[in-house]
Amino acid sequence: MLNNKMLTAVLALLLGAMGMATAQINKNAIYGNFGGTYQFGTGFHYERIILGGEYLHLTLGAGIGQSFNKADKTLEGGTYVPVNLGLAFGLKGHFLEMSAGPLGKLQMGIQEKKDFYAEPSLVGAQVNVGYKYFTLNRPGLFFKLYASGLFMSDTVAIDAKNTEAWLNGILKAKMLPSLGLGLGLTF
């Protein structure tokens, strides 16, 4: 006779195995992103399923894009590099997804001697919640509609020494909300 704890454990194991089933599905997506992380801006992103399958999967993604904001209380204009770790669950290509990750800023330019420079720094963090659709078993459409919350730190982390102050700044920051749309290709 099974007790409630044992029944719950077996049920969780079966549901987890079903969710992580490794059906032959597209694991990569490239897409253009409008709004969202960049608020008033656009970017180019790559996303890959690193674990899971058809019903439940863990994704890792990164992008680069430009924000064109001018207002004081929004994301400052510039080049940004978001990195996301996400969890998605759903059926037949339709998924609800939650993701979070750090937000880097890339300052680039040319110095007096015509030397190119690029200075990356961590400036904030992001949390995204939304809907995504992608073609499961052949190259095809990728579509994402999501709400994004940006948390901009008052301390910038240029190296490992400033990371703790950067993280404390994020935890104290107010959220900057925005909506985003992604459209691209899965393969």
Q: Give me the domains of the chain, ranges plus CATH numbers.
A: 31-186 (2.40.160)
Q: Please give the structure tokens belonging to residue 7.
A: 């029944």
What is the per-residue pLDDT for 13?
63
Asked if 45 and 59 touch (Cβ cutoff 8 Å), the reply is no
Question: What are the tens digits of pLDDT across the range 132-180?
Answer: 999 887 889 999 999 999 998 888 888 778 888 888 889 999 888 999 9
What is the per-residue pLDDT for 74?
65
* pLDDT at residue 131 tops 80: yes
* Confidence class for position 100, pLDDT limits 50, 70, 90: very high
What is the per-residue pLDDT for 15?
58
Distances 99 to 83, 116, 120, 157 between C-alpha atoms, Å: 10, 34, 22, 22
What is the per-residue pLDDT for 38?
85
Percent of the chain at pLDDT above 90? 43
Identify which of 143, 145, 133, 142 has the alpha carbon closest to the alpha carbon of residue 178.
145
Asked if 86 and 128 touch (Cβ cutoff 8 Å), the reply is yes
Question: What are the tens digits of pLDDT across the range 2-48?
Answer: 577 776 776 666 556 555 555 568 899 999 999 988 888 899 999 99
pTM across the whole model: 0.79
What is the per-residue pLDDT for 154?
84
* pLDDT at residue 77 tops 70: yes
E strands, the chain, in order: 28-35, 41-52, 56-67, 78-91, 94-110, 116-134, 140-157, 175-186
